[in-house]
């Protein structure tokens, strides 16, 4: 279906581009000129350091930040904090000012942009004025802070509307939408009231529905671990800037993995909350994502350099009346009892969803997941093999494709054809022609909703029957793939279909640090130790390996492995507590 859509979009855009006389390119040029005026000349990286910076280069650019000469030693220390609580403590005690912290992150964000093209909107002037206001407030009120996030710079995914700045979501036709009424999305508005400083907006894919953050307006965002690998999508700009400490906490949205995919690609932490729990109103989408239950629910959530950042975000939002910012929310406070019940707890039942053989995962991912499960077992967790016990993932992906196509096709088609811009390449690599057509009648939509309810019932029964506290699974079949090769995001999307909260934790050895032969050998011994069955295709099943990128350790070099932790709907606090415990064990924190 997707490749057919791509053909229609390409043809339609080609015709409309002729009609419009190629006007989308002039609109792009003007927009970039306006944006680039916000960069500071004194923060430009010397060209000699940028010679190998391009999308075909396999270099990591993380260490280049320290070679630019732009950051002072103090600014390096500020931006290298892993624990946000430590940074906030220094701001709130007066040891650091919001202004010096904000300038440090503005500098590092501009460096990140020159290395990986991760930004869409630049608001350095506004951020500095905001920081001065917060410092002045702190001084005049004898050390009082406006809220728990007082003075903290936070990066923002492009789709979150902010006053006086566009939210183009990768579409030329959305240039200038900063002028729409009430241009302040509910989540950033809440974070602002809690003391946050907004300084950049970050890049996304065209129409925010592919796994590569590439569009005709701002171009392609690169992965700081290896520039030839994808930064993921749709919150790819967030993953990229966090992966190189141009940010310490950012916000994204997730309808099929858009928080978790960039997190796993760039080696950071990402948390997809249950829907209806985080303020969502005011997010700009190619189509107004249906939150009424007809389509798969989208949710907003955090990406961070540590679980500490995830916790700060969730507690700050949940503990400050989020329903005041979005009346549609069903969750209105942080459940401290649930969190404390599972905090530091280890004697729990964890289901291991290692692989669906129809969607085979790479050896590096399989080895890492088994290795982390073995570590958890030694710490008192009971690991339950879910092989042959879970619903075939094809059913969930087939459902997701029909829901997504229903939600985005016509609005996307119109969004492109209004200016004649062409679709980006990553749309064509979703490889979903093998999956179903969307319903086009009220009865069909109704049946789709009923189908989703049944899927959710089946997974709830799995939790009940096996008395599971959580599931660990891959977040992706691969570490970060090469550009435009990601394919289908099945191992994240399944948890959107079930509406389970999910957290990605980076862990394990980068690709290339262990020989392939040693990985295969270790997989077999770990399976034996954990008593994990090897799953095979059934006679009536088809392999969808062609929908996924191929394994090649030399191509995927330096990609960071991960695990994904999942609990049930509205068990976000339980997931937070478990993820913190698991992270502390497997990453030895």
Could you tell me which residues are annotated as the binding site for substrate?
208, 234, 255-258
Neighbours of 434 (CB within 10 A): 17
Q: What is d(CA 295, CA 308) in angstroms, rounded to the nearest whole number?
A: 32
Phi, psi of 253 (to 5 degrees): -130, 160
Residue 462 exposure: Cα atoms within 13 Å on the Cβ side: 24
- Is 201 catalytic? The answer is no
DSSP state of 361: P
Q: Which residue from 311, 312, 317 is spatially nearest to 299, judged by alpha carbons?
A: 317
- Inter-residue contact 579 to 344 (CB < 8 Å): no
DSSP state of 439: P
Phi, psi of 229 (to 5 degrees): -100, 155
Kindly tell me the burial class for residue 8, based on how many C-beta atoms sit within 10 Å of its own C-beta (0-12, 13-18, 19 or more).
Answer: middle
- Is 258 catalytic? The answer is yes
Residue 176 in tokens: 């200038």
Look-up of token digits 């009430």? 182
Helices 236-243 and 98-116 cross at an angle (nearest 10°) of 110
Residue 281 in tokens: 């109103």
Which residues does 378 contact at the CB level (< 8 Å), separation at least 6? none
Find the catalytic residue in 155, 258, 275, 277: 258
| Cα distance between the two ends of the chain | 45
- Inter-residue contact 193 to 187 (CB < 8 Å): no
Residue 203 in tokens: 């890049």
- Is 434 catalytic? The answer is no
What is the per-residue burial (b if ≥16 Cβ within 10 Å, else e) of 305-318? bbbbbbbbbbbbbb
Q: What is d(CA 547, CA 569) in angstroms, rounded to the nearest whole number?
A: 29
Neighbours of 454 (CB within 10 A): 12
Residue 549 in tokens: 């990128």
DSSP state of 277: S
Find the catalytic residue in 13, 228, 234, 478: 234
Rg (CA), the chain: 23
Q: Kind of pairing, strands 299-304 and 153-157?
A: unpaired
Q: What is d(CA 268, CA 275) in angstroms, rounded to the nearest whole number?
A: 22
Task: Work out whether the CA dihedral 76, 79, 83, 84 comes out positive or negative.
Answer: positive
Kindly tell me the burial class for residue 459, based on how many C-beta atoms sit within 10 Å of its own C-beta (0-12, 13-18, 19 or more).
Answer: buried
DSSP 156-187: EETTB-BTTB---TT-GGGTTGGGSSS---HH
Find the catalytic residue in 28, 31, 157, 560: 157
Kindly tell me the burial class for residue 184, based on how many C-beta atoms sit within 10 Å of its own C-beta (0-12, 13-18, 19 or more).
Answer: middle
Q: What is d(CA 131, CA 153) in angstroms, rounded to the nearest whole number?
A: 9
Active site residues: 157, 234, 258
């Amino acid at each position: 279906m997707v490749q057919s859509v791509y053909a229609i979009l390409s043809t339609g855009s080609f015709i409309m581009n002729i009609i419009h006389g190629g006007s989308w390119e002039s609109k792009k040029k003007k927009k970039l000129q306006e944006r680039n005026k916000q960069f500071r000349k004194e923060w430009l990286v010397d060209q000699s350091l940028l010679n190998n910076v391009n999308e075909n280069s396999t270099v990591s650019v993380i260490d280049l930040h320290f070679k630019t000469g732009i950051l002072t030693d103090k600014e390096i220390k500020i931006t290298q904090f892993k624990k946000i609580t430590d940074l906030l403590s220094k701001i709130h005690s007066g040891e650091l000012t919001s202004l010096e912290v904000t300038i440090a992150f503005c500098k590092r964000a501009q460096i990140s942009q020159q290395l990986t093209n991760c930004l869409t909107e630049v608001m350095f002037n506004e951020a500095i004025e905001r920081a001065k206001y917060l410092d002045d407030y702190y001084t005049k009120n004898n050390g009082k802070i406006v809220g728990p996030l007082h003075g903290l710079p936070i990066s923002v995914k492009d789709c979150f509307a902010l006053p006086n700045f566009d939210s183009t979501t990768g579409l030329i036709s959305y240039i200038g939408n900063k002028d729409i009424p009430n241009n302040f999305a509910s989540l950033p508005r809440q974070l602002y009231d809690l003391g946050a400083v907004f300084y950049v907006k970050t890049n996304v894919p065209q129409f925010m529905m592919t796994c590569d953050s590439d569009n005709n307006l701002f171009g392609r965002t690169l992965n700081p671990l290896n520039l030839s690998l994808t930064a993921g999508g749709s919150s790819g700009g967030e993953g990229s800037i966090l992966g190189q400490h141009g940010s310490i906490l950012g916000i994204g949205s997730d309808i099929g993995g858009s928080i978790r995919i960039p997190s796993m690609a760039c080696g950071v932490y990402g948390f997809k909350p249950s829907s209806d729990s985080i303020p969502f109103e005011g997010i700009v989408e190619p189509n107004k994502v249906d939150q009424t239950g007809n389509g798969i629910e989208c949710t907003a959530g955090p990406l961070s350099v540590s679980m500490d950042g995830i916790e700060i975000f969730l507690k700050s939002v949940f503990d400050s009346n989020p329903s005041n910012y979005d009346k549609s929310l069903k969750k209105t406070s942080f459940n401290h009892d649930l969190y404390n019940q599972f905090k530091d707890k280890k004697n729990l039942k964890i289901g291991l969803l290692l692989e669906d053989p129809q969607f085979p995962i790479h050896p590096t991912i399989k080895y890492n997941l088994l290795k982390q499960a073995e570590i958890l077992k030694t710490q008192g967790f009971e690991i339950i093999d879910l092989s042959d016990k879970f619903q075939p993932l094809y059913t969930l992906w087939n459902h997701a494709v029909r829901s997504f196509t229903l939600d985005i096709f016509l609005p996307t088609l119109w969004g492109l054809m209004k200016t004649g811009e062409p679709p980006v390449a990553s749309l064509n690599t979703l490889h979903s022609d093998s999956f179903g057509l969307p319903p086009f009648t009220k009865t069909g939509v109704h049946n789709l909703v009923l189908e989703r309810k049944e899927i959710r019932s089946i997974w709830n029964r799995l939790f009940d029957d096996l008395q599971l506290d959580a599931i660990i699974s891959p977040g992706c079949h691969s570490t970060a793939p090469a550009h435009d090769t990601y394919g289908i995001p099945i191992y994240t999307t399944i948890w959107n279909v079930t509406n389970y909260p999910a957290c990605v934790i980076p862990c394990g050895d980068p690709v290339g640090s262990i020989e392939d032969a040693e990985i295969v050998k270790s997989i077999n011994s770990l399976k034996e130790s954990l008593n994990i069955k090897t799953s095979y295709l059934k006679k009536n099943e088809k392999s969808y390996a062609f929908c996924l990128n191929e394994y090649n350790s030399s191509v995927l070099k330096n990609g960071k492995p991960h695990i994904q932790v999942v609990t049930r709907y509205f068990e976000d606090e339980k997931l937070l507590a478990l993820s913190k415990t698991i992270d502390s064990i497997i990453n030895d924190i």
